[in-house]
Every structure is written in structure tokens, then in C-alpha cells.
Amino acid sequence: MKRETSATVVAWVLAAVTAMGCGSAGEQQQAPRPWYHQDPSQGAPRVEAPVSVDPAIETAQDPIWRELWVPIDNPERERSGSVQLVQQLVDARPGMVIADVGAGGGFFTFQWARTVGATGFIHSIDIDRRMTRKLSYESAARGVTNMDATQVPIGTLGLAPRSVDLVTFLDTGAFMTCEPARNEGYFRQAAEALRPGGRLLILNNVDVAGEQGDSPCEVPSAEEMIEMASPRFTTVSRHTLHEGGWSAWLLVFERRS
């Protein structure tokens, strides 16, 4: 879960706007940042190739590497109540296949990879190529072979039908009130990717917000998310989190038969 306000946390919301340019009509459009798919209609999911040099060393000047959610080994974060609740609800077990959407630095990815073992698999998915390159490097450096790292366009999961047992969106800012079609697309793709009885776990920081044109862009309420999910999912449980000045809701859904 990425609580800090950073480009990666809100990138699911802002990257498409950045690609179109946010200035006035008289301003020159900025060159696109190379780590994003700028055109979701043209981009395609891409499994990251092996990376031999740690991106955090290769681009040490990038402030992203100093974000608190990037480190994989983070004992303080592991002790937080929100992380412990997520782990309890995920209930990772040997043989499970999990899609970690918005995987970031891989804090959950690598823990789950250990738990699911050689008979399971973790698909770590992110729109930010800095993150997928970092994940690819770390998996090789740590000898973790039961995972992959895939960069996707905004609005795309890139998962095969009925291929996973669990899909997670943990504080990614992926679902926003100004993007109803994208929200519906995420629910549809998650339902298609899940095996019968598969689960979807979504945690959203209620303070993430942005703008698209003149429209406010906010995290949907838990009630709105439950309504959006209802055609394809039943609601298993609902949780409210308050920790260190940070508030969020967490929903667990099960795919309808």
C-alpha cells in the first residue's frame, strides 16, 4: 500500500492527463516521460525483460527511490495494522496465483511469492516502468522465479482468462469517480481473470484526488464501489482503516459464478 503522495501513487489517475499536456493552449507540450505508456489505446502489456543493474543505483537521482513504500524489506511497515489486516484477508497459501496490481516496489509481491511457493505464482503489475524494472531486477537478484513484472497501459490488467485466484488493488488510486468506464473495465477484467470462487481485494486511500478537466476526480466511496462491483461480484467483507492520520476503506469481493 502506497500512502505517500507521489507520482506513482496517483499515476493511475494523472498519467493520461500528463500525456495530453496540462498547460494552457499557448504552452508547448512537454515531452512524454519514457516510463509510461502514453497512449492506452496503442500500448500493450509487456512483461519486463531481465534487468541486471539495480534501477535505484542506475537512476539514483530519481526521488521515487526515497519513497517509504518502495523498499521490499520494511519491518516497520510489516508491523502496521493495515498491512497485517491485508495479509490476513489475502490469506496467501501454497499454490495460489495472485495478481498484485499497482505492485510498486514489490513489498507484497515478494512476501506472497515466498508463501505461494514453487506451485504458485505472482503477477506483479504496474503502469510505471521504473517499478517493473525494479521488480525484474530484484526477482533475479533474490532468486525468485515464481513471479513476473508486467508494465501495462492505464486501464489494462493484461491477465489471461481464469488464470488467477486473487486480484489486489492496494492503495493504487486506480478507481476514480471521474473515470466510470475505466472503473467498469477494471471490474470486468478482474472478473474475467479470476477462476470460479476467486476473490478481488481493493484498498483505497480516501484522500487521493485529482482533476480531469473541470471534473473533480476522487476515490469512490465504499458504497459506490460495492454498487459498481455488484454485476460481477458479491461483497464478502468491508473494513474501515484509520492509522497515523491516514484513512482508507478495504473491500473483499468474490467472483460470481
CATH number of the domain within which 135 lies? 3.40.50.150
* 149 within some domain: yes
Weakest mean pLDDT among 15-19, 99-103, 177-181, 207-211: 15-19
DSSP annotation of 36: S
Q: How far, in Å, CA of 94 to CA of 115, rounded? A: 6
Q: For residue 185, what are the domain limits?
A: 42-255
* 125 within some domain: yes
* 172 within some domain: yes
How do residues 150-184 score in pLDDT, each as one tens digit?
Answer: 999 999 999 999 999 999 999 888 999 999 999 99
* 14 within some domain: no
DSSP, residue by residue, 60-85: TT-GGGGSTT--S--HHHHTSHHHHH
* 8 within some domain: no
* 28 within some domain: no
Q: How far, in Å, CA of 73 to CA of 134, rounded? A: 14
Q: Is 100 exposed, middle or buried (0-12, 13-18, 19+ CB in 10 A)?
A: buried
Q: How far, in Å, CA of 136 to CA of 226, rounded? A: 34
* 212 within some domain: yes
How many domains does one find in the chain? 1
How do residues 20-31 score in pLDDT, each as one tens digit?
Answer: 333 333 333 333
When pLDDT is cut at 50, 70 and 90, the band that residue 1 belongs to is low
- The rounded percent of the chain whose pLDDT value lies above 90 is 68
* Cell numbers that stand for 232 in this block: 460481477
Nearest residue to 122 (alpha-carbon basis) of 91, 144, 89: 144
Q: Amino acid identity of 242? A: H
Mean pLDDT of the chain: 84
Q: How far, in Å, CA of 136 to CA of 77, rounded? A: 22
Contact predicate 228/195, CB 8 Å: no
* 29 within some domain: no
